[in-house]
Amino acid sequence: MRFQETFATSTRQRRSTSAARSTPPSISRPPRVFAAHWLAPGATRELTLERRKELVRLVAASGVLPNMEVALQAAGFVGTVATALDSAAEAGQLSMCQWLWDYSRSCTEDVCEACSAYDAWMSAAYGGHQHVCEWLLTVDPGAEDLEHWAIASAFYAGHVDLAEWLLQQQRRTPSTTIDSDFQYLRGVAHGCDLPTLQRAWLRFGPPKKRNQKTTLLSSAAGSSTPDWAAKVEWLEVQGCPWSTEVAKSAASLANEGEVLARLTWLRGRGYPVDGDAVLPAASKGNMQVLE
């Protein structure tokens, strides 16, 4: 099970999707107008594959089923339905999820393939939607590893109550316990406050590997919570070592002012802040970090 790789990839995809959620006017049009626009000859000719995926994601998140049928037809790429399901799950659009799930299993077109619950689990948990998670349990109850990722995603987004509910549904096995426990800690370090992190540290046990401890420190430095600095300080006391990855995580934030403040704080604390560390911010146009 590639916990590290899959979690990092899913996080990047989710950040990209969230950034695209400023719905363009054409997405929110009534179904008749939407169909006339997107089914017109050449309507999607100039759209790249990523832009077509964005169209599908936005319509799925809107929950408007007639527009979804049109968007799937207009986008026309393999994996369209799976992309739509993930976005609908993250937005909590249960009816849309149910329709897409059934559609993917009845569709005979070349661009259609059966949806997987794997990414949908993580998306629903990341969005904080227990009702979608409950439904996924009914349609794919035999998936052994899905709840592990869903729990990590819920913690990562700060949905503690949902994570606790998912933990109650979990089927823990010796082969996945160690890796999943670390991913829970990683999610908590990013998305939850210090008291929750302290409880999770006792509950899931401190990681034994040095690189895992460094990862926890990086997660706290790039955290979405106001007490990120307190989490960094506390993790230091627990023996989590410094690395350039800590500053790099802080530099990956979207808020330019927040990036500068965190890097200044980290540098004042002795953390290495080199060119590689500030590259994520500079690549987004945040030139303040280079001064």
Tens digits of residue pLDDT in 120-146 = 999 999 999 999 999 998 888 766 566
User: The tokens of 121 are what?
Assistant: 């689990």
pLDDT value of residue 117 = 83
pLDDT value of residue 157 = 97
pLDDT value of residue 229 = 98
Alpha carbon distance 49, 196 (integer Å): 40
pLDDT value of residue 239 = 96
pLDDT value of residue 109 = 64
Weakly modelled stretches of the chain, pLDDT under 50: 1-6, 8-9, 12, 15-23
Supply the DSSP symbol for 98: H
Nearest to 247 by CA among 268, 274, 227, 285: 274
Q: Which run of H or E residues covers position 83?
A: helix 80-91
pLDDT value of residue 8 = 47
pLDDT value of residue 246 = 94
Alpha carbon distance 17, 281 (integer Å): 19
